[in-house]
Amino acid sequence: MELPPAQDVMRLLGGYMVTQALGVVVDSGLADRVGDEPVPLEVLAGHTGIPAPQLARLLRALRTVGVFDTGPDGVVHTDTSRLLCRDARASVAPFVDIHTDRGYAAWADLLVALREGGSAFERQRGMPMFEWLSSHPDEGARFNEAMAAGSRQRREVLLARDWSGSTSVVDIGGGTGTNLLAVLEAHPHLTGAVLDLPSVREQALALMATSPAGDRCGFVAGSFFDEVPVADTYVMAVVLHDWDDEQALRILRSCRRAAPDGARLLVVETVLADGEGWDWAPWMDLHMLVMLGGRERTEAEWRRLLQDGGWDVEAAGPRLLECRAQRETP
C-alpha cells in the first residue's frame, strides 16, 4: 500500500528505530523462540526477559513492518521474521549483530564521511576496521560469521563457473573459507588456499577441519598488500569494495605480480546499475564509505580499475567479473 508522503517520510525517518528493534529481536532470542505454531506472549516474555506488556508494544511496532504476526493464540513467524532466527537457512542474524552496533554507530558520522571522504569508523575508533577487528577477537569472529552467513549468493556465483581449466585456486581475503571449500568440494581435482589476515586463521582452520575438501585447502596468513601465493585461478569476493581505488589497485597489482601469464581472476562483487525502486546496493556503497572508505562500482568503474590493476575483463555480469592476467610487457 502506497503511503501519503507525510507518512512515508516518517516511515523512512524511523529506519533507525527498526534497526534497533531488529537488534532486540535477535539479541534477546525472540526470533529463535517463535515458531510456526503460535507461542503465547507470556512464554516469550519468560524466554526473553522482556515483561509481557512491554513485549506486546515491541510486537505491535514490528508488525507494521512485517516482522512477526500476533493472533489470539500467540505470536507466529512471517517469512521475514523467520530469517532473524540464528539457525534459519539464509539467516541474517549475524548481519543484524554487526549492523546494530558498529555499523549503527559509524553511520552517525555519515555527513563527515561524505564531506571529507574516508571511513567514519576509523575516525571514531582510531584505527581502520580490519585492524580493529584483529585486535578485538570476539568482534572479529562475529564479523567472520556474518561474512560466512552472507556468502551463499557468492558461492552460487562461483559454483556456476566452469572450473575444468583450473588446478589451483587462491581465495584472496577469503575469510574463513566458506566460498573456497564449496568450490573444492564440488571439484575434487582442485587444490586451494585462503589468503587472509592472521587473526582469521583459527576460525578458518576449524571450518576446514569439518569439510570433506579440508585436506586440499590451506590457509596463508598474511596481507594481500604484501604478497599473494601463486595459483592459476584467483578469487576475490567482496574484497575490493572494502577499499578506495588506490588501495584496490595495490591489491590487484600484488595479485598480478604473483599470477602466472594466463591466470584467471574471478571478482565477485556487486555491479551498480541504475534501477527503479528500492535497492540494497547503493546503500552498501555508502556503508562501505562509512565503515572502510571503500565503495561499490559500476561496470565501467570496475573495468577501468581491473584494467589498471593488470587484469583484462573477459566477461562482466551483475555479480561477477571474469578477468585474465594481462601479458607482461616485454
Ligand X SMILES: C[S@@+](CC[C@H](N)C(=O)[O-])C[C@H]1O[C@@H](n2cnc3c(N)ncnc32)[C@H](O)[C@@H]1O
What positions carry a catalytic annotation?
241
Q: Which of 41, 58, 170, 237 binds ligand X (CB under 6 A)?
A: 237
Residue nearest ligand X, CB atom distance:
173
- Each residue of 297-323: b (16+ CB within 10 Å) or e? beeeebbebbeebbbebeebeebbbbb
Between residues 173 and 310, which has the closer beta carbon with respect to ligand X? 173
> Does the protein bind ligand X through residue 130 (CB under 6 A)?
yes
> Does the protein bind ligand X through residue 238 (CB under 6 A)?
yes
Between residues 67 and 200, which has the closer beta carbon with respect to ligand X? 200
Question: For the sheet containing 217-221, what is the strand order?
Answer: 217-221, 191-196, 168-172, 233-237, 264-268, 320-325, 311-316
Stretch that binds ligand X, among 5-13, 162-170, 196-204, 252-260 (CB under 6 A): 196-204
Stretch that binds ligand X, among 36-44, 109-117, 231-239, 317-325 (CB under 6 A): 231-239
Write the secondary structure of 49-61 as one string of H (helix), E (strand) and C (coil).
Answer: CCCHHHHHHHHHH
> Does the protein bind ligand X through residue 223 (CB under 6 A)?
yes
Number of residues counted as binding ligand X (CB under 6 A): 19
State the minimum distance, in angstroms, from the CB of residue 104 to ligand X.
Answer: 18
The helix or strand, by DSSP H or E, that contains position 62, with its residue range, turns out to be: helix 52-63
Between residues 32 and 145, which has the closer beta carbon with respect to ligand X? 145
β-strand 217-221 against 191-196: which pairing, if any?
Answer: parallel
Stretch that binds ligand X, among 6-14, 88-96, 119-127, 219-227 (CB under 6 A): 219-227
Contact 103, 166 (CB under 8 A): no
Contact 270, 321 (CB under 8 A): no
Q: Which of 48, 170, 175, 267 binds ligand X (CB under 6 A)?
A: 175
Q: Which of 48, 151, 233, 254 binds ligand X (CB under 6 A)?
A: 151
State the minimum distance, in angstroms, from the CB of residue 85 to ligand X.
Answer: 21
CA distances from 234 to 88, 171, 244 (A): 31, 6, 20
The upper half-sphere exposure of residue 105, i.e. CA atoms within 13 Å in the direction of its Cβ, equals 10
Residue 45 grid coordinates: 516474555
The contacts of residue 37 (CB under 8 Å, 6+ apart) are 76
> Does the protein bind ligand X through residue 179 (CB under 6 A)?
yes
Residue 55 grid coordinates: 513485549
Q: Which of 32, 196, 269, 296 binds ligand X (CB under 6 A)?
A: 196
Q: Using CB under 6 A as the criterion, which residues of the chain lie in contact with ligand X when the complex forms?
A: 130, 147, 151, 154, 173-175, 179, 195-197, 200, 223-225, 237-239, 242
